Amino acid sequence: MKPVIAVSGLRKTYGSGETAVHALRGVDLVVQPGEYVAIMGASGSGKSTLLNMLGCLDMPTAGGYRLDGFSVAELNERQLALLRNRKIGFIFQSFNLVPRTNALSNVELPLVYSGLRRGPRRRRALAALELVGLSDRAKHLPNELSGGQQQRVAVARALVTGPALLLADEPTGNLDRASTEDVLGVFDRINAQGRTIVVITHEDEVAKHAHRVVRVSDGLIVSDEVRRRVGALA
- Provide the number of structural domains found in the chain: 1
Q: Dihedrals φ, ψ of 158, to 5°?
A: -65, -30
CA–CA separation, 34 and 52 (whole Å): 21
Could you tell me if residue 84 is inside a domain? yes
Contact of 209 with 188, CB cutoff 8 Å: yes
* Nearest to 95, CA basis, from 45, 127, 124, 132: 132
Could you tell me if residue 108 is inside a domain? yes
CA–CA separation, 145 and 22 (whole Å): 41
Do β-strands 212-217 and 70-71 pair in parallel, antiparallel, or remain unpaired?
A: unpaired
Q: Residue 137 carries which DSSP code?
A: G
Could you tell me if residue 57 is inside a domain? no
| CATH number of the domain within which 141 lies | 3.40.50.300
Contact of 31 with 3, CB cutoff 8 Å: yes
- The full DSSP string for 32-84 is -TT-EEEEE--TTSSHHHHHHHHTTSS--SEEEEEETTEEGGG--HHHHHHHH
- Residue 152: give the domain boundaries: 34-48+76-226
Sign of CA pseudo-dihedral 108, 109, 115, 117: positive
Please, what is the end-to-end C-alpha distance for the chain in angstroms? 27
Query: Quick one: pLDDT at residue 229?
Result: 57
Query: Quick one: pLDDT at residue 124?
Result: 96
Could you tell me if residue 68 is inside a domain? no
Mean pLDDT by 10 residues, the chain (234 residues): 95 91 96 97 93 94 96 92 93 94 96 90 96 96 96 97 95 93 95 96 94 96 84 45
Query: Quick one: pLDDT at residue 115?
Result: 85
Could you tell me if residue 205 is inside a domain? yes
Q: Strands across the sheet with 36-40, in order?
A: 88-92, 165-169, 197-200, 36-40, 212-217, 220-226
Query: Quick one: pLDDT at residue 234?
Result: 37
Query: Quick one: pLDDT at residue 59?
Result: 92
Contact of 198 with 54, CB cutoff 8 Å: yes
Query: Quick one: pLDDT at residue 142?
Result: 97
Query: Quick one: pLDDT at residue 21?
Result: 92
Q: Give the relative orientation of helices 147-159 and 118-131 as an angle to the nearest 10 degrees.
A: 130
Could you tell me if residue 143 is inside a domain? yes
* Nearest to 137, CA basis, from 122, 152, 117: 152
Specify the pTM.
0.92
Query: Quick one: pLDDT at residue 228?
Result: 67
Could you tell me if residue 213 is inside a domain? yes
Could you tell me if residue 214 is inside a domain? yes
